[in-house]
Amino acid sequence: MGCGCNKNNLKEEDLNVSEENRINSKISEDLFNNKNKDDTLVETKNQDSILDSKNDKENDSKGNYNKKNGNDFKKKIIIKNQYSQRVFELINLIRLNPPEYSKTIIENIKYISFESIEEINKNNDMKEVKEIPVYKKKVKVKLYRGEQCFLEVAEILANTPPMDELEFDENIIIPLPDNEKDLKNPEFIKKRVEEIKSHSNINAYYKEYIKNPEISVLLMIIDDNEKSNGKKRKSILNKDFKKIGIDSKFIGNNFIAHFSFSK
């Protein structure tokens, strides 16, 4: 147990997701419950090796994953919903073999495009048309740097050695809001984290708004956001982190997930 006062702790204010991302992430609860199975995969030539956890044993025989760990981590999570379970599995698969996931990142560059938006120039209050990169596959998410960021992150993962899986820890799960007012309140998650720190350590935490588990993990790893600067990815791939807490649900039409990490 620790106080969690490390100056390098990841704070929620560093990871605000734009309102546009929230709007783009609104989808029906039927899809969240996986009634549309086509919505659960990011298309990639390598999805059988990294996005399908059923192939753990085969990958182990090829030297890709640890067979024992691949079987064990599925037993550690208390299954609350399909998103939390799947994201937990994917994160651990990536930690076991980061270079393999770099191929998935490269394959998903094809879903990046540009869209024109109107913005007000703060210097002269005039409307300007700006081209912005977006990732568009099942959901549409505004990017900051686009393809260049995907390429750089793929290179990072290609040179990242394997690390231990994370253990799912119910003690560090950050409670979710019950209404839209608390959902929009940036102080809500901070207060809940402080409450948890009275009995358990949390070294990093953030929110996520994309309900598709594969796309959610992909964009957390890319973390192409002007404010976060890769902090979500660094949390997921921090070899010193041993535990993770995940919870997720819909509040009206808005999906939200809380992630927490501990050494």
Per-residue pLDDT band at 79 (split at 50, 70, 90): low
- Beta bridge partners, 114, equal 133
User: What is the Cα–Cα distance from 175 to 204, expressed in whole angstroms?
Assistant: 15
Which residue range is the domain that position 130 belongs to? Answer: 12-262
User: Does residue 122 register a pLDDT over 70?
Assistant: yes
Task: Tell me whether residue 139 is in a domain.
Answer: yes
Per-residue pLDDT band at 211 (split at 50, 70, 90): very high
User: Does residue 228 register a pLDDT over 90?
Assistant: no
Strand locations in 121-216 (E): 127-137, 139-142, 167-168, 204-208
Instruction: Report CA torsion sign: 218, 114, 24, 181.
Output: positive
Alpha-carbon distance values, 210 to 4, 63, 122, 135, 193 (Å)? 27, 32, 30, 12, 21
Three-state SS string over 29-81 comes to: HHHHCCCCHHHHCCCCCCHHHHCCHHHHHHHHHCCCCCHHHHHHHHHHCCCCC
Instruction: Report CA torsion sign: 42, 156, 235, 52.
Output: positive
**Of 9-13, 125-129, 224-228, 245-249, which one has max mean pLDDT?**
245-249
What is the pTM assigned to this prediction?
Answer: 0.70
Task: Tell me whether residue 5 is in a domain.
Answer: no
Computed over every residue of the chain, the mean pLDDT equals 77
For residue 232, the SS3 value is helix
Task: Tell me whether residue 6 is in a domain.
Answer: no
Task: Tell me whether residue 2 is in a domain.
Answer: no
User: Does residue 155 register a pLDDT over 70?
Assistant: yes
Q: Is the model more confident about 7 or about 245? A: 245
Per-residue pLDDT band at 80 (split at 50, 70, 90): low
Burial of 105 (0-12, 13-18, 19+ CB in 10 A): buried
What is the tally of structural domains in the chain? 1
Task: Tell me whether residue 164 is in a domain.
Answer: yes
Task: Tell me whether residue 30 is in a domain.
Answer: yes
Task: Tell me whether residue 227 is in a domain.
Answer: yes
